Amino acid sequence: GTAEGSALPADVAIVASLRTALANRSGRGRFYLPQPAASTLTATGRLSGAAQTQILTALEAAWSTYNLVGTPVVYSRTNRSTAIINTFNIGDLYDTQRGRESALNEARAVEVMP
């Protein structure tokens, strides 16, 4: 995407969490999106609801096109199997690939896989 103004530091990321019908670790996946613009911050330092919605909309559009040729899945290294992604979500806390803020409660916006 495009945005005017400053970006957040390079170690800040937004995480897209993937969920399947499996209710264990094998049924979850995630990937990291690059740091967003500073304009996506709320007054409390979280990702704004509008930014969450924009990201979910963009991911849904990307996967809708992809679904014409295949089905997105989560691969389990433990089971050596795949599971179809049912939903994906974006939280309102920024993450880093080195660690998470586990002490804060996070509000998540969820979307059904197209």
pLDDT tens by residue, the chain, 114 residues = 566 667 777 778 899 999 999 988 888 999 998 888 888 889 998 999 999 999 999 999 988 887 777 888 999 988 899 999 999 999 998 887 665 556 667 788 888 888
Residues 6+ away with beta carbon under 8 Å from 106: 91, 92, 93
CA distance 18 to 35: 19
Number of Cβ within 10 Å of residue 10's Cβ equals 9
Q: Which of 94, 104, 100, 105 is nearest to 12 (CA)?
A: 94
